[in-house]
Amino acid sequence: MPGKILIVDDEVHIRMLLEQTLEELEDDYGVEILTAGDGEEGMRIIRDQRPEVVFLDIMMPRMNGYEVTRLVTEEEGLDSVRIVLLTAKGQEADKKHGMEAGAEMYMTKPFDPDRVLQVAMELLGLRE
């Protein structure tokens, strides 16, 4: 069963780069790629679409990544959503805060596209 991946980042070029990185999963496995430009839109899509994996920026307008992560963790029915924080905030305290909020994984920008693809495949249970 193919899944859904949501990319939430307020920077258009980052969203596009992540989409390009993950489009192989769309082509090869039928994974659906969704995008959102801020935390509020991302949260709406998470509630409506129930993606299996969310690549989530931290520093965004309207609702930051920590808030989205905490809401997903606390909200009933969203426990199957796995969040990967993907951010420029690389300090150990930032990582700790993200993991405590309920993130599955923490990756820093600039990111390695091969690693992002690998993480997505692992979290979706896909084999190369």
Please tell me the pTM assigned to this model: 0.94
In terms of phi and psi (left: phi > 0; alpha: psi -120 to 50; beta: otherwise), the region of 50 is: left
Domain residues for 22? Answer: 4-124
pLDDT(21) > 80 = yes
DSSP 62: S
- Give yes or no for a contact between 43 and 51, defined as CB atoms under 8 angstroms apart: no
DSSP 61: S
pLDDT(78) > 70 = yes
pLDDT(128) > 70 = no
Mean per-residue pLDDT for 39-51?
97
DSSP 29: H
Q: Residue 27 and residue 82: Cα distance in Å, rounded?
A: 22
Supply the pLDDT for residue 122.
94
Q: How many domains does the chain have?
A: 1
Mean per-residue pLDDT for 85-95?
86
Q: Which pLDDT band holds residue 1 (cuts at 50, 70, 90)?
A: low
Mean per-residue pLDDT for 54-61?
94
Closest C-alpha to 89, from 54, 68, 72, 65:
65
CATH number for the domain including 75?
3.40.50.2300
Neighbour-count burial for 110-122, b at 16+ CB within 10 Å, e otherwise: ebeeeebbebbbe
Q: Residue 46 and residue 65: Cα distance in Å, rounded?
A: 13
Mean per-residue pLDDT for 73-95?
90
